[in-house]
Amino acid sequence: MKLSLLTNELISTGLKFQPTYQKGLTNHLPMTLVALDQMGAEDERLLGFYHQYITQLENVARNDAFLSQANKIEQLIKRSGIDATLQQYLPKLIASFASQAFHCLIRLAYAVKSQQPREIAYSLAYWEQNYRPLAPLATTDSYNAAEQLKQLTQVLSTTSFHADNISERINEVAKRPNYLKLATVPCDITLENALQLIIKQYRTTNDFTLLHGITALHAFIELSPYFSDQTTALHWFWQSYTAAFATACHVFNHKSSQTSAPHLSWLETLSRGSLSHNDHTIKLIYSCSEIYKRYPFAELKQIAHQRIAQEGL
């Protein structure tokens, strides 16, 4: 479904803001606008979110290095087209899926949904400037994906991290020998297997870091047509997820409380979810609904309904 004229206008106007603010927090404005639009939000809701959200953002005008890179990419898009540009850039970027806590990946997927060349250029420039591979890629048949997560929990569940945000913690864990020993990707990992495990870890914990596994995998699926080697791309993604998981596996030492959740149709789920004031909730519910179209796992609905219950929507 195409975006509304208003949504496209707000995304375009929002390009005057930095991709990050307040010393590294991600600007979720364009992503959330796309999600709200696709969830059926009315113009009043879109405008309300835009004007509320921009109060915390920072102007991009003085970020000369970023703007120069974005301009260069935009010119390439104008010459070669969106598809060719993505096919050129993505093979160079997939070793860094976890950059900015997966938000470079996520913003690009939403930008492609908008089909706005400058927003796509911003997203690619954002990712390129934050490119940071975690570890060399290798595969193994000595454990499967579930066993890998179990072993990571065993060795890292009591580990503390000094970093304040998810991205910094991921970069921190990637330097630790006890993670690096288990960073090798199971050679038999599949997209469906990865999805089932990512859903399970989030449902079990309701953890904010692990929430990003779902929204990131949704973005990965959306961008998958542009990966020249699907298997290698999935291996890089899984390595990034395990690093994020390693920073959060201490949460398995505590049981997550569950709120009684309603049983709703997807239409009602999206309608209620669009009323949230939490951009992560909006994107989580939208991601669950989109993934469900391809992988109709009941747990995706349950996650969305649980989030609605938690916020009393």
pLDDT of amino acid 162: 80
How far, in Å, CA of 243 to CA of 166, rounded?
A: 10
How far, in Å, CA of 10 to CA of 193, rounded?
A: 37
pLDDT of amino acid 253: 66
CA terminus-to-terminus distance, the chain: 25
pLDDT of amino acid 254: 63
How far, in Å, CA of 73 to CA of 125, rounded?
A: 7
Taking alpha carbons only, the member of 218, 100, 201, 102 closest to residue 148 is 201
Phi-psi region of 182 (alpha: psi -120 to 50; beta: other; left: phi over 0): alpha
pLDDT of amino acid 51: 97
Spatial neighbors of 295 by CB under 8 A, at least 6 apart, are 192, 195
How far, in Å, CA of 66 to CA of 70, rounded?
A: 6
How far, in Å, CA of 251 to CA of 280, rounded?
A: 19
pLDDT of amino acid 193: 97
> pLDDT means per 10 residues in the chain (313 residues)?
94 97 93 98 97 97 95 98 97 96 98 97 98 95 96 89 88 93 96 97 94 98 96 98 93 66 90 96 98 97 95 91
pLDDT of amino acid 159: 82
- Entry pTM: 0.96
pLDDT of amino acid 166: 93
